[in-house]
Structure 1
C-alpha cells in the first residue's frame, strides 16, 4: 500500500516530534519526505541530518519532493505565505499556528485555494478536543462558547502582552487573570500561546463571539483548559489537563499527538469522531 508522503514546515518542538514519530513508524501509513527550514542556520538542521531527512529552504524545493500533505509547525507568517500556494498546488495542508486565522480573510483564501487545487485544509484540535461534539451542536444552534486557560505562572514569561503588565511571575502566590475577552483580541495578544482558542473559534461560533479567559496560575501542574458551550442541544463542559512538553512548557503533549491523529485519519479506512 502506498504511504502518505508528509512534508513539514519547521523543525521546532512539534515539527521534530511529528518527524521523529513518522520516521519511527508510529503512523504506519505515513512517511516523512522533507522538511522546510527558514535558513541553513535554523535549529533542527543537525537533527534532520542525523535522521537522514532532506531539508530545504524554499517552498518550491519542498513541493519538489511530491508530498501528499504539508504539516505547518513553524509560524503564523508561514501559514499566510505558504498555505494558499500549497493547497492550490493540490497538496493537503495541516496548519498548527491557527492564530493566523484571526485574519478574517485567510480562511476564505485557503478555502478557495483548496477548491482550485482539489486539496483539503485540515484543522487539528491541538491541545484540546471535543470539537466534533461542538460542531454537532452547532447544527442545532450554539449561543455561547467560553474557554478558561490556566498555565503555570512562569510559562507566560517572555510574552510581550504579559511583560507589559509588569507582573512578577516568579513570585506569584495566587492565580492572576491575564486576559478576558473575545478570541479575536486574544489571538492578537497571545498569538503563539493560545492557538487552541483559534481552533475552538474556527470549529464553533467564530473569533468575535468565543470568549477566552487566561490565568497565570502557580497552583496548577498541567496546562488546563475548561471549555463550555450551550445551545439547543444543552450545556457541555469539558476539562483538559495537559502535560507540557519538557523541552517547551508552552507546548503540550496533546497538541503534538493531535497532528499524528489527523495524519492517521488521512491514511485509515475508518474514522471515528472527526
Structure 2
C-alpha cells in the first residue's frame, strides 16, 4: 500500500453483495468512514454488481454516489450517472429474449429465465421479498435463469445461443445469458470515459469468482472476506502484494481496506 499519495487520480470499483453490503443484512454502514472519505475527496466509487439498474440506482443514491456510473447485471451493461441518458435498455433485453425463443423447443423448455418465472418465481428462486423481486425482474441487458436439463442438453443449448451471439455464464444457481461484457471490460470503459487519456490508479474490491477479472485488472485490489460465499482461489497478484485479503468480512473489511488507502490520496480524484 502506498505510503504517500501518488500523482495520479484515484477511482474505486466495488462489488456489492458480500463486499460493500453485509451478506445477510445488506447493511453498508460499517463502511461509512471510508465512504465519507471518498465523498470528501471527490473520488469516484463505481458500483459493479449482478444487480439490475433498478436495484442499484436507489442504493447508489443512498451511498452518495448518484453522480457516478455503475456496472450492472454482472458487466452486461452500464447505468449512467443520475441525470444522464440511460438509453433504451429494454430493447436490448427484448432482443435477448427473442434469441432465446429461437432456440429449439426441446432445449428451450429446460431453461426458466427471469422473464419466464415472473416476480413470484424470482422470489421463490432467490429468497428475495416481493419488492426486491420486482426490481430484479427489471432486466435491461441479461437474463438469469434456472437450468433443469442434462449437462449434454445444456452444452447444446449454450452452443445454439452462441450461434446467435449470446453468451452464457454459470454462477451459483443461475445460468445467465447476455450479449457479452464483464466487470473488467466495463471498468476499462468507464475509466476511459471519466479520465480520457489520463491514467488513474484503479482500486477494485470483490468477494466472489465473478469478481476475479476485475480484481486482476486493477492496480490494487482487495478480496473481501465472505465466510458465506465460494472462496476465491489464490490469485497471482497476492504474491506481489497487488491483491490482498481482508480479515473482516463485508463492509467492515471494505472499510479496513479502503480508508487507509484513500487517506493517501488527499487531492480530488477527478470526475
Indicate the TM-score class for this superposition, using the shorter chain for normalisation: 0.3 to 0.5
> Comparing both chains, which one has the higher relative contact order based on Cα–Cα distances under 8 Å and sequence gaps of 6 or more?
2
TM-score, normalization: structure 2?
Answer: 0.36
Instruction: Compare the two structures and name the one with the higher helix fraction.
Output: 2
